[in-house]
């Protein structure tokens, strides 16, 4: 008789991706109850490739390699931010799309988070700098040294944001703003 260890519902691997056409950040965290462990993080350098189609293929292949090696339960990916350069935004959207396609090709569900949501979730400030996000992650995840490229910590931040959004770990005393306002209607300004 073969016995297998049951997988508890709070145990999961989350792959976070900060998409980019020059540098793509990735980070993998394992959530085991209330314990969060960093499994891997880094960047995919794409600046040396002039052809955009080749960059997209490299992003797809790298994402697939991470999925094959670590078998994450979910993908959390940062949404493209709205800038003034439409061409840059389109390229970034394509980079995001191929990473999502890699996950979907292996039946991995994905969730997209706005950059401000990620920053707010990790630092408490939706306008935090990349450096502030990295500094907070070093403390929360007990990382000894910040990586050379902050795209890697951004990817870890997306994964951590996803974990927080799943209700596995609520900050600020464990209550949401909605719960606070429901319990304290007199404290809301009109």
- Residues tagged active-site: 18, 78, 151
- Strand 23-32 relative to strand 12-18: parallel, antiparallel, unpaired? antiparallel
Q: What span, in angstroms and rounded, lies between the C-alpha atoms of 86 and 47?
A: 20
Q: Is 107 annotated as a binding residue?
A: no
Range list of H helices, the chain: 52-70, 86-105, 115-123, 130-140, 150-165, 177-183
Cβ–Cβ < 8 Å for 119, 130: no
Nearest to 81 by CA among 41, 55, 110, 113: 113
Asked if residue 30 belongs to a known ligand binding site, the reply is no
CB of 15 closer than 8 Å to CB of 75: yes
**Looking at residue 79, what DSSP letter applies?**
P
Q: Please indicate if the annotation marks 151 as binding a ligand.
A: yes
Q: Give yes or no for a contact between 44 and 55, defined as CB atoms under 8 angstroms apart.
A: no
Binding site listing for Mg(2+)? 18, 78, 151
Binding site listing? 18, 78, 151
């Amino acid at each position: 008789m073969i016995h297998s260890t049951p997988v508890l519902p709070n145990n999961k691997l989350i792959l976070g991706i900060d998409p980019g056409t020059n540098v793509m950040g990735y980070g993998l965290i394992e959530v085991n109850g209330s314990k969060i462990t960093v499994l891997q993080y880094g960047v995919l350098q794409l600046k040396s490739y002039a052809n955009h189609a080749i960059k997209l293929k490299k992003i797809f292949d790298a994402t697939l390699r991470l999925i094959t090696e670590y078998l994450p339960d979910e993908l959390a990916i940062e949404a493209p931010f709205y800038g003034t350069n439409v061409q840059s935004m389109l390229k970034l959207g394509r980079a995001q799309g191929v990473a999502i396609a890699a996950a979907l090709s292996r039946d991995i569900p994905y969730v997209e988070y706005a950059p401000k949501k990620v920053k707010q979730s990790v630092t408490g400030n939706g306008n935090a700098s990349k450096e502030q996000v990295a500094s907070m992650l070093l403390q929360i995840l007990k990382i000894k040294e910040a990586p050379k490229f902050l795209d890697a910590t951004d990817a870890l931040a997306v994964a951590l944001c996803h974990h927080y959004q799943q209700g596995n770990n609520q900050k600020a005393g464990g209550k949401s703003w909605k719960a606070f306002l429901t319990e304290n209607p007199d404290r809301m300004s009109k």
